[in-house]
Amino acid sequence: MDFNNKLERKASQRPLIAAHRGVSGANIPCNTLAAYNIALLQGADIVELDVSRSRDGVLYAFHPGMEHAHLKSKRFIASLNSRSVNRMRFVNLDNVKTHYPVSTLEEAFAFLKDKCYINVDKFWTYPAEITAMIRKCGVDKQVIIKTPAEEKHFANVEKYAPDLMYMTVISEEDRCTDALLKRNINYIGAEVLFSREDSPAISEEYIKQMHDKGLLIFGNAIVYNEKANISAGHTDDAALTQDMNAGWGWFEDKGFDIIQTDWVQMLREYLENRG
């Protein structure tokens, strides 16, 4: 990958594949260096990771609020000092402790440097600190940052990270693209969350407008909570248990440029075989 060029997906190529927290399963927990490595081995173009911060200010590659599920801990990383966090270990799918530690964000960046694009979720929680770490690790050409579509977040991106690739997260309707294109922000597209197939944010007209402006559309096939309908039912689950064309193929047919999944290798093989 040439990280000096603008991230784009040509119309003749398959959608880019984003690995949700890497690729995890069995004894390999998500958001670990092992999970990121498996995502690379399976052909992910982008590795998505989350960010938490310890009480003493150390950034970790961990989804905030998931300590009970992934670490079998009743205490949040935000309430602990880094010495305590460094002693913690992930549990596997059977809720049994593994040897995998909680990696710092610096360790995650060092591991992924020059290997893939990196989607940093939760950027808006600590924009100044995360941006400083991105620059320290020299991954500024690889990183994609995202925030909800709110003015306070746009202002922070403009203040701390105007050169980093930025995507806004929108729900159902986009009211910010034209304004973002006029700001000192390296705006490259939108992550679209939608519960209905007739959502304005995934209309043929909107997607064409975005593509005409050289912008990307990011969609989620992941299911992190069955109560959260973020892709109108076109999910990994639907692809694997019902019909891959109705699940993953739907995103490609609609013109999505990036598909986030928990099943990288199967999605990649499906897209390649589909031609």
> Mean pLDDT, the chain, as a whole number?
96
Extract long-range pairs of 165-169: CB within 8 Å, 24+ residues apart: 165/7, 167/191, 167/216, 167/218, 169/193
Q: Which of 81-85, 141-145, 173-177, 182-186 has the lowest average pLDDT? A: 173-177
For the chain, list the domains and their CATH numbers.
16-274 (3.20.20.190)
Q: Residue range 228-255: average pLDDT?
A: 97
State the residue for tokens 């961990």: 62
Q: What is the pLDDT of residue 66?
A: 97
Does residue 5 or residue 33 have the better pLDDT? Answer: 33
Query: Could you tell me which residues come within 8 angstroms of residue 272 by beta carbon, excluding any fewer than 6 positions away?
Result: 14
Burial class (CB in 10 A: 0-12, 13-18, 19+), 184: exposed
C-alpha 21/C-alpha 82 separation (Å) is 21
Q: What is the pLDDT of residue 9?
A: 83
Q: What is the pLDDT of residue 243?
A: 97
Q: What is the pLDDT of residue 5?
A: 84
- Note the Cα 135 to chain centre separation in Å: 19
Per-residue pLDDT of 103-119, as tens digits, reads: 999 999 999 999 999 99
Beta-bridge partner residues of 144:
119, 165
Q: Residue range 189-217: average pLDDT?
A: 97
Residue 8's pLDDT band, with cuts at 50, 70 and 90, is confident
Q: Residue range 224-230: average pLDDT?
A: 95
C-alpha 269/C-alpha 165 separation (Å) is 28
Q: What is the pLDDT of residue 11?
A: 67
The sign of the dihedral angle between the CA atoms of 62, 88, 112, 219 is negative
Residue 85's pLDDT band, with cuts at 50, 70 and 90, is very high
